Chains A and B, each alone.
Chain A
Amino acid sequence: MQEPLTFQVNGKTYTESCSPGTSLLTLLRDLGWVGVHRVCESGDCGSCTVWVDDKPVHSCIYPVMKLEGHDVTTIEGLAVDELAPIQQAFLEKQGFQCGFCTPGMIMSAAKLQFNSLAELRKALDGNLCRCTGYEAILESILAAKEQRSESCLMQNPVGKSVPKQDGSAIVRGTANYTADWSPPGLLHIKVVRSPHPHARIRKIDTEKAKALPGVHAVFTYEDVQRKPYTTAGHADPVPDPLDHYLLDNKVRFIGDRVAAVVAESVAIAIQASQLIEVDYEILPHVIDPVKAINDCGVVIHDEPESSQIYDPQRNIAAKVTLGTHDIEQGFAEADLIVENTYYLPAVQHVHLEPHISTSWLEADGTLVVRSSTQVPFHTQRVLSQLFDLPKDKVRVFKTQIGGGFGNKQEILTEDLCVLATLHTKKPVQWEFTREEEFTATNSRHAMQVRVRTGVKADGTLVAQEMEAIANTGAYGNHAPTVVFLTGCYPLGLYRCPHQRFLGLSVYTNTMPAGAFRGYGATQGTFAVESQMDEIAEKLGIDPIELRQKNIIQPHDIIRLGREGAHDHFHLIGSYGVPECFAKVTQAFNYVPGTKPTVNKHLRRGVGFAVSMQGSGLAKIHSAGVKLSLKSDGKYELRTGAIDVGTGADTSLRQIAAHVLGVTVADIELIAGDTHNTPFDAGSYASATTYISGKAVNKAAVAMRSQILEFAAKVLATQPENITLTPDKAIAAQQEITLQELVSRNQQSFVVEVEHAANESSLTFAVQGAEVEVDTETGRINVLRCVQAIDVGTAINPRICHGQATGGIVMGLGYALSEELLINDSGRILNPALRTYRLPTAKDTPQMEIILVEQPDPYGPFGAKGIGEIGTNCTAAAIANAVAHATGVRLTQIPMTPERVWQALNA
């Protein structure tokens, strides 16, 4: 300890002693200023921005020992009585989704100097957002000078851009994320991670670690029951291989869990973990999935306890075959056959809030887990199985979530927290570092996808064959289901009489792949949509026309993926595809056959792609809702649904409010808590609006009937004669308040609904992109993106818009710069935000989103899923635009400047 430091935070004077290597970020959070968010810890993302003597700095790289005599302002100190103008502007323009970047964004924006939009984009280099695509943020900053106010109290809110109801807390820095509260006496976990890609553990010596003062426990494989499970959060029975263990005597990738230290501080836990001595028997390893299936002498899952693995000897975690087997007959009819292989990288979600959970025991013995999870109910089930606890003794709940994108449809932190809490009887927290996020969670599956298409001279597709080899990494979480979607959606999009798909998810000694927005369809879409343009070029047919000629039609049945009688399936509800094509081509003033524009070394072109994605999972994805009318005349909506930051909670409240004739403010929402809300499968597969929203819709309709029927009895009339207003039931001559109704009702006004969709209605999107390629450097500059989404009904257009812009920019990173690079051992070479390049505000093109609204017959108010589709077609549209601009086709993403340059000079 050093001499104490005296300083001020938000006007309050502190005198504190700190460890000499502490960052200002940690000090501020320890002092309770938790609006300062921990994300990258390297000064790259801006989420921890505060002012020191009015100058904005990244608090994560500010040495706390420099703080003596200085004055710090955090987001909590920005609003004195009312919101600062910049906070007000972010609230009005909704410059946030999950809100995790927002405090830092606001503290930066308040001090920005810029004279143009381009300068503003450049000035935002040090602030990363993964949700919004920056558009709403730029609008907020530009609007900060002009003040307007919008009423949030909208009647009939469905179809209106109701502000996200957590906005006020987000802009004030008071939104309560998982790390922002913990019980007293908290212990912390650090895990020893494998330095080897494949090894058996001969011996672990934990004595020195255990002897370190402040260490409460150390766990290795010898301390846990050997029960195979999957980290994937899926409904029971899970489709995934059961191949993961709490702690194992074998490690399967660099970063795999070896031992867990539980200590009084993170620093002590780290120190103790460095004292653990592990004797490894190094095993041969394989990082290439093609080698892994071809008798390479490496068997990654040779343990007898694991199950549901398709072929452990050949490292095949899962195999999916779809379609007809007379494919060659189709090719025999073809006038042209095109074949190509496409290479898709592993990319990371980079949700700004890391994985984190805190567990503790209540006095009655209930185990509580507060976690940043997309799947609290699946987590509860898995924990109860792993630790032999009755489900009702395990409570899992979430608070505000700072993004997930699929990586939190995974049980990664909760299991060891619970192990530690059950052993120590104390509260335990495990928060991942950014490096752990990059090296020890999940990626999107890297894939190589071979596509072969047979086509008639007039452009009619007669045969499509696809073979996808996916690298699922060391564990098979999501292995079968991701490759299923790689074939199912991109091929299912076209009416082609002969289609065949083979998908293999292959184990390698690399970080596991898992669920990621788009879920396999993203990879397949790049392959098929690239090939459609290649075919169009060879046949001399316009690529839009070729797609329109072959795309599925409203009454078509999607047979692919529906071979088994019990398979959940997709169908076409509403169909706005022609309008999507029309709107996008109009936006570009697209004239078929237009040549690229050439200006010396700069070449401009346009390209298009189309995609489809289901709305939730039919039959197996269920959502429960409990809706009550309370004694104060307001409604309480309990749902197990999870808002990962998208605004889904607001959309659900809009649906209920619309049916009940109130505003969203009249619907109190309690969500995502296994002990206090009904079951919901969770937030994945673009399901929340479509499935949980439908459950809310049904519950609200039933509640409305219940109120009207009871009011009719009280008012001695028929229900149809009664008008329900926000606070009264009104008949022709008389009226009664809702409070009065509640007090007169012997029973409570409560409706419980469980809903599972019988069918998953398909959402479509068409995207166009205009690019400029510098043929000397190979750099692609995306100038413009236009995306039309066949969304059914937009329950909240602004939220839908945000899903689209965020999805496009995520697709932009996939197309141009993002890739987890590995060496020969599978070690990730760029596990930091400085080297793994997310799009910044400067990289985002002009974006235009068109919501094509044709109500769907199945979704609530006609709504369909929108969470994932926006990501799928961006990379293909850009690749097609590059091909148009340069005549060169790139079959590997990201299309880095070097790859483009190589392709141009091949």
Chain B
Amino acid sequence: MDLNNIQTYLRPQSLETVENWSLGWSWLAGGTWVFSQSQPDLKVLVDLEKFDWSEIEVTTEGLVIGATCIMTKLRQWNFPEHWTGVKALFRAVDELASFKVTNMATVGGNICLAIPASTFAPAMVALDASYEIWHPQAAPRFVAARDFQIGVQQTVLQPGEVLRRISIPQESLTWRISYQRVCIATAGIAISIIVAACNPQTSQVRFGLGACVPTPRVVEFSHIPTLDEIEEALNAQVPLNDFIEDYAASAAYRQHITKVLMQRSLLEF
């Protein structure tokens, strides 16, 4: 929609030229979220497009995704066949919205938006990703995906900071993936997302929980857990109070459905 209160739209050529970051400024990647609702507090949009941070790099150490990589590009990339872990990323694209949104939306945009229902956040924690953060006037720093989000639409990013790239270790990329997502209808904002990753060698299992909790959570097992072990671990590590309670679903239902999805994930391993 038209954002009538936007006064300035900056298209800097390089990060260093971005100065005097102030209240009411926002980075803009694809724009698919920023333009999807009114933004009464924003005055200045800073478009990241010209930085060209859209690389996809496949190396022996793993996968690097530039923050402004368009989702469709990621979805259509040819990855090594033994990288079963990219299924988590593919599903994160497929489940986000229509292909017309993912033609514009960026991977980093979804992560930095940090809404609970992010389709990428639980995938990134399940894949044990880490994020490189830049600032126009400071040195880069690194944050683990699981530490990045600190609340609903709150991240560790300080004013003026920006996500530069995402790194996923090679080891996680060989893990097998189950991606389960539940909404009130068949599409829309999820009430629970479970991305399960299983190490085919060790049977180690890492669950990324999203949408059911304000920030993505990790529940890990050294082996493929039994149904009871899932229930026990979930109750211990993510108590009922941690689940979101809102008009879309109660915390009790979110807890229940999360358990069901975790248990169903095992059927794929």
Give min CB distance, B167 to chain A, whole Å: 27
| Given known A-B contacts A20-B8, A56-B103, A125-B97, A43 and B3 have beta carbons under 8 A apart | no
Which residues of chain A have C-beta atoms less than 8 A from B183's C-beta?
A: 837
B247 within 8 A of A: yes
Between A and B, 27 residue pairs with Cβ closer than 8 Å are A19-B6, A20-B6, A21-B5, A23-B1, A43-B98, A55-B72, A55-B103, A57-B104, A58-B101, A62-B31, A62-B104, A125-B98, A126-B99, A127-B98, A266-B4, A776-B260, A777-B260, A816-B185, A830-B247, A832-B37, A834-B188, A834-B189, A835-B188, A842-B187, A898-B250, A901-B253, A902-B253
A133 to B103, CA, bound (A): 26
Name the interface residues of A40-64: CB closer than 8 Å to any CB of B.
Answer: 41-44, 46, 49, 55-58, 60-63
**Interface residue tally of chain A, by bracket?**
35 or more
Residue of chain B at shortest CB distance from A905? B256
Select A60's contact among B1, B9, B11, B256, beta carbons within 8 Å: B1
Which residues of chain A have C-beta atoms less than 8 A from B51's C-beta?
A: none
| Given known A-B contacts A20-B6, A21-B6, A63-B35, A49 and B100 have beta carbons under 8 A apart | yes
B158 within 8 A of A: no
Cβ B2 vs Cβ A42 within 8 A: no
A132 to B102, CA, bound (A): 26
Cβ B249 vs Cβ A898 within 8 A: yes
Cβ B35 vs Cβ A60 within 8 A: yes
| Given known A-B contacts A43-B101, A61-B35, A777-B260, A840 and B187 have beta carbons under 8 A apart | yes
Which residues of chain B have C-beta atoms less than 8 A from A816's C-beta?
A: 185
Residue among A26, A61, A65, A266 facing the most chain B CB atoms (10 A cut-off):
A61
Give min CB distance, B93 to chain A, whole Å: 13
Cβ A58 vs Cβ B8 within 8 A: no
Cβ B5 vs Cβ A66 within 8 A: no
Which residues of chain B have C-beta atoms less than 8 A from A58's C-beta?
A: 32, 98, 100-101, 104
A847 to B18, CA, bound (A): 57
Give min CB distance, B145 to chain A, whole Å: 25
A327 within 8 A of B: no
A797 within 8 A of B: no
Which residues of chain B have C-beta atoms less than 8 A from A56's C-beta?
A: 99-100, 103
Give min CB distance, B116 to chain A, whole Å: 13
Give min CB distance, B86 to chain A, whole Å: 19
A837 to B99, CA, bound (A): 19
A840 to B49, CA, bound (A): 33
B186 within 8 A of A: yes
New contact pairs (17) apart from A21-B2, A21-B45, A840-B187, CB-CB < 8 Å = A2-B9, A20-B8, A21-B3, A23-B1, A26-B2, A42-B37, A43-B97, A43-B98, A43-B101, A56-B100, A58-B32, A61-B33, A271-B4, A816-B185, A817-B184, A835-B189, A837-B184
A670 within 8 A of B: no
Residue of chain B at shortest CB distance from A836? B188
A41 to B34, CA, bound (A): 12
Cβ B4 vs Cβ A63 within 8 A: no
Which residues of chain A have C-beta atoms less than 8 A from B185's C-beta?
A: 816-817, 837, 839-840, 843
Give min CB distance, B189 to chain A, whole Å: 6
Cβ A23 vs Cβ B35 within 8 A: yes
Interface string of B1-42 (1 = CB under 8 A from A): 111111111010000000000000000100111111100000
Cβ A270 vs Cβ B4 within 8 A: yes
Residue among B9, B37, B250, B256 facing the most chain A CB atoms (10 A cut-off):
B9
Residues of A bordering B, CB below 8 Å: 2, 19-23, 26, 41-44, 46, 49, 55-58, 60-63, 65-66, 108, 112, 123, 125-127, 266-267, 270-271, 433, 776-777, 779, 816-817, 821, 829-830, 832, 834-835, 837, 839-840, 842-843, 896-898, 901-902
Give min CB distance, B110 to chain A, whole Å: 13
A21 to B41, CA, bound (A): 13
Residue among A21, A266, A776, A834 facing the most chain B CB atoms (10 A cut-off):
A21
Residues of B bordering A, CB below 8 Å: 1-9, 11, 28, 31-37, 45, 47, 49, 72, 97-101, 103-104, 182-189, 247-250, 253, 256-257, 260
A342 to B17, CA, bound (A): 63
Which residues of chain A have C-beta atoms less than 8 A from B4's C-beta?
A: 19, 21, 266-267, 270-271
A515 to B162, CA, bound (A): 50
Give min CB distance, B8 to chain A, whole Å: 6
A42 to B7, CA, bound (A): 21
Residue among B31, B99, B249 facing the most chain A CB atoms (10 A cut-off):
B99
Give min CB distance, B181 to chain A, whole Å: 12
The 6 A-B pairs of least Cβ separation, nearest first, read A126-B98, A21-B6, A21-B3, A20-B9, A41-B1, A837-B185
Cβ A63 vs Cβ B98 within 8 A: no
| Given known A-B contacts A817-B184, A829-B247, A837-B185, A65 and B47 have beta carbons under 8 A apart | yes
Which residues of chain B have C-beta atoms less than 8 A from A123's C-beta?
A: 99
A125 to B119, CA, bound (A): 16
Cβ A901 vs Cβ B256 within 8 A: yes
Cβ A897 vs Cβ B9 within 8 A: no
Give min CB distance, B147 to chain A, whole Å: 28
Cβ B1 vs Cβ A20 within 8 A: no
A518 to B189, CA, bound (A): 29
Please report whether the interface of chain B is mostly helix, strand, loop or mixed according to DSSP.
loop
Give min CB distance, A554 to chain B, whole Å: 41
A816 to B188, CA, bound (A): 14
Residue of chain B at shortest CB distance from A18? B9
Residue of chain B at shortest CB distance from A601? B260
Which residues of chain B have C-beta atoms less than 8 A from A61's C-beta?
A: 1, 31-33, 35-36, 101, 104
A112 to B103, CA, bound (A): 13
Residue among B5, B7, B100, B182 facing the most chain A CB atoms (10 A cut-off):
B100
Give min CB distance, A117 to chain B, whole Å: 15
Give min CB distance, B162 to chain A, whole Å: 17
Cβ B1 vs Cβ A42 within 8 A: yes
Select A66's contact among B1, B47, B99, beta carbons within 8 Å: B47
Which residues of chain A have C-beta atoms less than 8 A from B256's C-beta?
A: 901
| Given known A-B contacts A125-B187, A126-B99, A817-B185, A898 and B253 have beta carbons under 8 A apart | yes
Cβ B100 vs Cβ A46 within 8 A: yes
Residue of chain B at shortest CB distance from A56? B100
Give min CB distance, B7 to chain A, whole Å: 7
A901 to B249, CA, bound (A): 12
Cβ A62 vs Cβ B247 within 8 A: no
A108 to B97, CA, bound (A): 14
Residue of chain B at shortest CB distance from A42? B36
A44 to B1, CA, bound (A): 12
Which residues of chain B have C-beta atoms less than 8 A from A43's C-beta?
A: 32, 35-36, 97-98, 100-101
A58 to B257, CA, bound (A): 32
Which residues of chain B have C-beta atoms less than 8 A from A898's C-beta?
A: 184, 249-250, 253
Residue of chain B at shortest CB distance from A104? B100
Cβ B247 vs Cβ A837 within 8 A: no
Residue of chain B at shortest CB distance from A108? B100
Cβ A897 vs Cβ B260 within 8 A: no
Which residues of chain A have C-beta atoms less than 8 A from B98's C-beta?
A: 43, 46, 58, 108, 125-127
Residue of chain B at shortest CB distance from A111? B99
Give min CB distance, B24 to chain A, whole Å: 13
Give min CB distance, B75 to chain A, whole Å: 11
Which residues of chain A have C-beta atoms less than 8 A from B257's C-beta?
A: 777, 897
A127 to B1, CA, bound (A): 17
Give min CB distance, B161 to chain A, whole Å: 22
Which residues of chain A have C-beta atoms less than 8 A from B28's C-beta?
A: 63
Which residues of chain B have C-beta atoms less than 8 A from A126's C-beta?
A: 97-101
Give min CB distance, A519 to chain B, whole Å: 25
Cβ B103 vs Cβ A57 within 8 A: yes
A440 to B2, CA, bound (A): 20
Which residues of chain B have C-beta atoms less than 8 A from A842's C-beta?
A: 186-187
Which residues of chain B have C-beta atoms less than 8 A from A127's C-beta?
A: 98
Which residues of chain B have C-beta atoms less than 8 A from A271's C-beta?
A: 4
Which residues of chain B have C-beta atoms less than 8 A from A817's C-beta?
A: 184-185
A821 to B189, CA, bound (A): 15
Give min CB distance, A272 to chain B, whole Å: 11
Which residues of chain A have C-beta atoms less than 8 A from B3's C-beta?
A: 21
Residue of chain A at shortest CB distance from B260? A776
